[in-house]
Amino acid sequence: MTHSAWIGDLTAAQRDMAFGTGDGQLGFSVLRIPVPEDRAAWNRDLATAQRAVERGAAVIASPWNPPASMVETFVRGSQTDARRLRYDMYGAYAQHLNDFNTYLRNNGVNLYGISVQNEPDYAHDWTWWTPAEMVRFLRENAGSIGTRVIAPESFQYLKNMSDPILNDPAALANVDVIGAHLYGTPFANFPYPLFKQKGAGKELWMTEVYYPNSSDSADLWPQALDVGEHIHRALVDAEFQAYIWWYIRRSYGPMREDGKISKRGAAMAHFARFVRPGYVRIGATANPATNVYVSAYRGGGSTVVVAINKGSAAVSQQFTLAGASGSSVASWLTDASRNVASQGTSGMSNGSFTVLLPARSAMTFVIR
Told to judge if 119 belongs to the known catalytic residues of this protein, a careful annotator would answer yes
Decide if 258 contacts 250 (C-beta within 8 A): no
Told to judge if 153 belongs to the known catalytic residues of this protein, a careful annotator would answer no
Buried b (16+ CB within 10 A) or exposed e, 307-319: bbbbbeeebebeb
Q: With both helix axes pointing from N to C terminus, report the angle between 12-19 and 46-54 in degrees, rounded to the nearest 10.
A: 40
C-beta neighbour count of 148 within 10 angstroms: 17
* Calpha distance 231→235 (Å, rounded): 6
**Per annotation, catalytic residue among 208, 229, 239, 257:** 208
Instruction: Give the phi and the psi of residue 173 in degrees, each rounded to 5.
Output: -65, -25
Please report, for residues 31, 47, 146, 177, 358, the alpha-carbon distance to residue 109 in angstroms, rounded to integers and kept in the order given: 11, 10, 14, 19, 42
C-beta neighbour count of 216 within 10 angstroms: 13
Who's near 125: CB < 8 A, 6+ residues apart?
A: none
Collapse the DSSP code of 227 into the 3-class scheme (helix H, G, I; strand E, B; otherwise coil) and give the result: helix
Who's near 261: CB < 8 A, 6+ residues apart?
A: 17, 24, 25, 26, 254, 255, 269, 339
Decide if 231 contacts 268 (C-beta within 8 A): yes
Residue 201 is classified by DSSP as T
**Per annotation, catalytic residue among 37, 119, 153, 229:** 119
Q: Which residue numbers are catalytic?
A: 119, 208
